[in-house]
Amino acid sequence: MSNIYVHKIRLSGGVGRGYTWCMKKALRKKEPTIVPERSLRVLFVASECAPYAKCGGLGDVVASLPKALRKLGVDVRVLIPLYGTISRETFGLVEEPSCLVNCGGGEVNGCGVWGGVADGDVPMWFIEHDRYFDRGGIYDDNGVEFGDNAFRFGLLCMAAEQVCRDRQWIPDVVHSHDWPTAIMPVLLDAWRKAGAPLGWAGSVLTIHNQAYQGYSHASALGYLGLGPDYFTPEILEAWGQVNLLKGGIVMADAITTVSPSYAKEILTEAGGNGLAEYMQARQRDFEGILNGADYGVWDPETDRLIPANYRADSLIGKGQCKQELQSQMGLQQDGVVPLFGIVSRLTSQKGMGLMRAALPLALDSLNMQLVVLGTGEAADEEFFRWLAAAYPGRVGVTIGYSDDLAHRIQAGADFFLMPSLFEPCGLAQMYALRYAALPVVHATGGLEDTIEQYNPGEGTGTGFKFYTPDAPTFQETMAWAVQTWETRPSHITQMREQAMKVRFDWEMSANRYLDIYRRVALKRVGWQ
């Protein structure tokens, strides 16, 4: 049975029912039934999706993977919260019939439901619940995490069941992302036992960052309608609290993470953030699939957010982008000095410790400029403000979030700094490659997988990697990049050409997700 082609199989039932339900029926009848074909149905449930709501790469992936899956014929839809920051008018959202979500303990929550269509014709649903979602931040208020996150995102997951049921659109697979929606596989298990239609869906959990696990007080379980049998060390309990990510890891039919190297790292004690034993137990159902980059959004040949377009065989436009970036960020106008760029969440993961120690020394000893765009921990923001004040005309800093400036930095910078202590995948360095801003990175996780080390003998490679994450090594690597810039311009030209040609298209990765969806859908009907 394993060679059955589930993606476009002919099944009985059809309208409004999931594949798995149809397969069960077909299996019970033990006879082939002919009905119109329909595609595999996949529901993404997530806390971010660009351009509606984004803090980092998760938002990019939840926007671009469904787009790629739709090209493969998958009927994929995306459900996210309607945060107060999402403008209904700008995105042309349309109000749909609201839904009543039955939470545990008899609590019923009325939620608004809004529909929209994202880039790539991806249908979107937005859950409106002012008390939970009409707030400035997605996860926190200026760095202070909301205390009720398990309730907020729990409601989102529970609303998924009701939205699908009300619309008679029952997915074959529910794909959840990171701790905010990691409870989904646990809820599906409970719903299956209770006979709810969505319970028959297979579950896939993607770990974008295992360091964040979503700890909450055990009282969240009652709200989620989960009994004490789920609050065990084998499932959700950890240190007397609920660990949402752990629950998802234990219960999901399949688990993925976002690069092959990070997949290896989180299986080890050292890299497993306390969850290595649970990851190891699920090793057979776990794989690392490299994220793709959306070149419809990130391409200097067509990007409308940058001052001038350019291509691999002519970088004249890049020179103009550099000039305009220098002027916008208050830097000395100098086409010769190498300009380094940073676009990042400002947090320890991104190598803030290394940057604090190494950047002043690098600026003291090297002829270089630096532009920074970021937001995050108060002390890190303060450091960069200080750096800009200490090196006027050489360092330009914007503390905040700006998609426009992120594109302009990629286009104007000569080098892109990403000294992350760990990096599950990293998208910013992929964009940097496409924009010919050569990445200077710590060789970890997805950075190791996507950047080819500069080879001074041949002039090949796409960036400068260092293997020991300490400040002197990071500083030496920046010096190496500057020295290459100054003394071997032909190598820089060659590397830029090579970098711009590297493609991380979604198509291949989306096909791998499709294989997983088929597998878990089959597993749910007992065919595998």
Contact residues toward ligand ADP (CB under 6 A) are 56-58, 60, 343-345, 373-375, 401-403, 406, 425-428
Please report how close the Cβ of residue 196 comes to ligand GLC at its closest, in angstroms: 30
Please report how close the Cβ of residue 137 comes to ligand ADP at its closest, in angstroms: 14
Separation of alpha carbons 210 and 178, rounded Å = 8
Examine residue 423 and tell whether it contacts ligand GLC (CB under 6 A). yes
Q: Which does 258 bind (CB under 5 to 8 A by kind): ligand ADP, ligand GLC, none?
A: ligand GLC
Q: Which does 450 bind (CB under 5 to 8 A by kind): ligand ADP, ligand GLC, none?
A: none
For tokens 């200077």, the residue is 440
Separation of alpha carbons 266 and 256, rounded Å = 11
Q: Which does 402 bind (CB under 5 to 8 A by kind): ligand ADP, ligand GLC, none?
A: ligand ADP
Q: Which of residues 147-206 bind ligand GLC (CB under 6 A)?
A: none
Please report how close the Cβ of residue 59 comes to ligand GLC at its closest, in angstroms: 8
Give the residue among 74, 185, 172 at the shortest CA–CA distance from 122.
Answer: 74
Stretch that binds ligand GLC, among 55-63, 192-200, 244-252, 475-483 (CB under 6 A): 55-63
Q: Which is nearer to ligand GLC, 209 or 326 (CB)?
A: 209
- Detail the DSSP E strand segments found in 86-163: 94-102, 108-118, 122-128, 140-141, 144-145
Q: Which does 406 bind (CB under 5 to 8 A by kind): ligand GLC, ligand ADP, none?
A: ligand ADP
Residue at shortest CB range from ligand GLC: 57
Q: Which is nearer to ligand GLC, 170 or 297 (CB)?
A: 297
Sheet of 122-128: strands edge to edge?
94-102, 108-118, 122-128, 75-81, 41-45, 173-177, 202-207, 254-257, 286-288
Please report how close the Cβ of residue 78 comes to ligand GLC at its closest, in angstroms: 15
The alpha carbon dihedral of 39, 124, 169, 250 has a sign of positive
How many beta carbons lie within 10 A of that of residue 196, not counting itself?
17
Please report how close the Cβ of residue 344 comes to ligand ADP at its closest, in angstroms: 5
Options 180, 202, 338, 426; binder of ligand GLC; rule CB under 6 A = 426
Cα 5 from chain centre: 29
Please report how close the Cβ of residue 130 comes to ligand ADP at its closest, in angstroms: 26
Binding string, residues 249-268; x marks residues near ligand GLC by CB under 6 A: ---------x----------
Give the residue among 417, 299, 274 at the shortest CA–CA distance from 358.
Answer: 417
Please report how close the Cβ of residue 350 comes to ligand ADP at its closest, in angstroms: 7
Specify the DSSP class assigned to residue 332. -
Task: Say whether the peptide bond before residue 51 is cis (omega within 30 degrees of 0).
Answer: yes
Q: Which is nearer to ligand ADP, 145 or 234 (CB)?
A: 145
Pair 290, 208: CB distance under 8 Å: no
Q: Which does 158 bind (CB under 5 to 8 A by kind): ligand GLC, ligand ADP, none?
A: none
Give the residue among 46, 423, 40, 82 at the shortest CA–CA distance from 205.
Answer: 46
Separation of alpha carbons 72 and 75, rounded Å = 9
Cα 171 from chain centre: 22
Q: Which of residues 270-329 bind ligand GLC (CB under 6 A)?
A: 291
Which residues contact ligand GLC (rule: CB under 6 A)?
56-58, 61, 208-209, 258, 291, 423-427, 446
